[in-house]
């Protein structure tokens, strides 16, 4: 799971990244609000952890920017030492999915992240075996069947298919895909993603004639969409956040 | 404020981070002392706020409590009260003995 952390306190960054990395998360840390919103115009994440007090803009400004500019409902958890009831209520009303008062506690933080992820659309379908359209995917046996016929996929092709199916209709950045399928330590170029996506589109028939659209978004990434016949001629909405203009 | 001078048990997972955290706390204590002398309420508040937010996460509930008191003193414009806590903070940092479990 890819986490974007907006936090300017080095001690807090050390602590949270240690906990999350040890629990299998991939952490991306930003210390400035504007740096964070710029990154969101080209990258996608599974969850955001926002601090309130930042060197340039406030976490509240960033939350507002996210809700106005990031089309998919990526969950936001506020983590701040501000414990006033009015602050907590204001951020939840402004669109935060949860609010944790610092100091953070490891088990609570992890449990809350998993809880908001469960409530969001990002963990669906999480079952080992799931059906989506004409596809039946078995994560345990690493097989994909289309109309009952097994489709031969490479290991990475299978991982990519599962990641795209599990994130149906979400715009996923190339970095996000690369990290999820090939791992954080991979030195591969994002062009690798383009090559594998192209192959997967062809192997699984992810084309409008079959009710699918695997859309390439220039300088950003891909989005897998399931379309109905009457939608096949619709124009493509990119869903890319607009450039960072946060005040 | 009463500081309990007892060994503090910290999760072994944090063993690589705690020495640096305590070093930074000692540095912060020095900065706070100077800020109190210069009536620099903004610096006092910010460091107090940071200590409040992070201390307990590392297993030092006392540091969170100290940070909260320093932040409150800064908000009240009371550098004398802040300095009293900073002195206690320095004593705590000298006395603390970490035991990883």
User: Which of these, A93, A70, B28, B6, lies nearest to A78 by C-alpha position?
Assistant: A93
- CB proximity B22 to A under 8 Å: no
- Asked, for residue A137, whether it belongs to a domain, the answer is yes
CA A242 to chain centre: 17
Structure token digits, residue A220: 């950003």
Is the pTM higher than 0.95? The answer reads no
- Asked, for residue A164, whether it belongs to a domain, the answer is yes
Q: Give contacts of B16 with chain A, Cβ < 8 Å.
A: 18
The CATH number that applies at residue A96 is 3.40.50.2300
Tell if the CB–CB gap between B17 and A9 is shorter than 8 Å.
Answer: no
- CB proximity B19 to A under 8 Å: no
pLDDT value of position A243: 46
H-only helix segments in B1-101: 18-37, 41-54, 61-75, 79-95
The CATH number that applies at residue A213 is 1.10.10.10
Q: Are residues A98 and A33 in the same domain?
A: yes
- Asked, for residue A246, whether it belongs to a domain, the answer is no
- Nearby residues of A11 by Cβ (< 8 Å), 6 or more positions away: B17, B21, B24, B50, B54, B58
Q: Are residues A53 and A84 in the same domain?
A: yes
What's the rounded Cα separation, in Å, for the pair A22 and A18?
A: 6
Residue A222 has pLDDT above 80, yes or no: yes
Range from A98-107, A185-194, A202-211 carrying the lowest mean pLDDT: A185-194
Q: Which of A73, A106, A123 is the last residue of a domain?
A: A123
pLDDT band at B47 (very low <50, low <70, confident <90, very high): very high
- CB proximity B20 to A under 8 Å: yes
Q: Give contacts of B69 with chain A, Cβ < 8 Å.
A: none
- Asked, for residue A236, whether it belongs to a domain, the answer is no
Q: What percent of chain A has pLDDT over 70?
A: 89
Look at chain A and report how many structural domains it folds into: 2
Q: How many other CB atoms are found less than 10 A from the CB of residue B51? A: 30
Q: Which of A62, A94, A123 is the last residue of a domain?
A: A123
Give the pLDDT confidence of A147-198 residue by residue, as tens digits: 999 999 999 999 999 999 999 999 999 999 999 999 876 677 878 899 999 9
DSSP structure class, residue A234: S
Question: Structural domain of residue A54, as residue ranges?
Answer: 2-123
């Amino acid at each position: 799971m890819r986490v974007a952390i907006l936090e300017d306190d080095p001690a807090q960054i050390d602590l949270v990244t240690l906990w999350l990395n040890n629990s299998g998360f991939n952490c991306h840390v930003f210390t400035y609000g504007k740096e964070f919103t710029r990154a969101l115009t080209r990258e996608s994440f599974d969850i955001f952890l926002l601090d309130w007090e930042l060197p340039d803009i406030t976490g509240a400004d960033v939350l507002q920017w996210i809700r106005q500019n990031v089309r998919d409902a990526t969950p936001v958890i506020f983590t701040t030492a501000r414990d006033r009831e009015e602050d907590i209520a204001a951020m939840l009303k402004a669109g935060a999915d949860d609010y944790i008062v610092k100091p953070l506690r490891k088990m609570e933080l992890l449990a809350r992240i998993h809880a908001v992820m469960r409530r969001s659309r990002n963990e669906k379908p999480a079952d080992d075996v799931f059906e989506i359209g004409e596809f039946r995917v078995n994560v345990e046996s690493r097989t994909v069947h289309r109309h009952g016929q097994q489709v031969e996929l490479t290991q990475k092709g299978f991982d990519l298919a599962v990641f795209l199916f599990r994130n149906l209709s979400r715009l996923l950045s190339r970095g996000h895909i690369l990290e999820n399928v090939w791992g954080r330590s991979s030195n591969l170029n994002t062009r690798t993603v383009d090559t594998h996506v192209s192959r997967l589109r062809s192997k699984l028939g992810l084309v409008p004639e079959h009710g699918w659209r695997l859309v390439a978004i220039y300088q950003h990434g891909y989005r897998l969409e399931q379309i109905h016949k009457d939608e096949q001629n619709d124009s493509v909405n990119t869903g890319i956040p607009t450039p960072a203009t946060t005040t | 404020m009463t500081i309990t001078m007892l060994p503090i048990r910290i999760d072994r997972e944090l063993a690589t981070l705690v020495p640096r955290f305590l070093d930074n706390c000692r540095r912060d204590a020095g900065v706070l002392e100077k800020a109190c002398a210069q009536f620099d309420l903004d610096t006092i508040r910010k460091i107090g706020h940071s200590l409040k937010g992070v201390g307990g996460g590392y297993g030092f509930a006392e540091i969170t409590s100290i940070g909260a008191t320093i932040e409150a003193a800064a908000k009240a414009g009371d550098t004398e009260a802040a300095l009293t806590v900073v002195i206690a903070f320095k004593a705590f940092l000298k006395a603390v003995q970490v035991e990883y479990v």
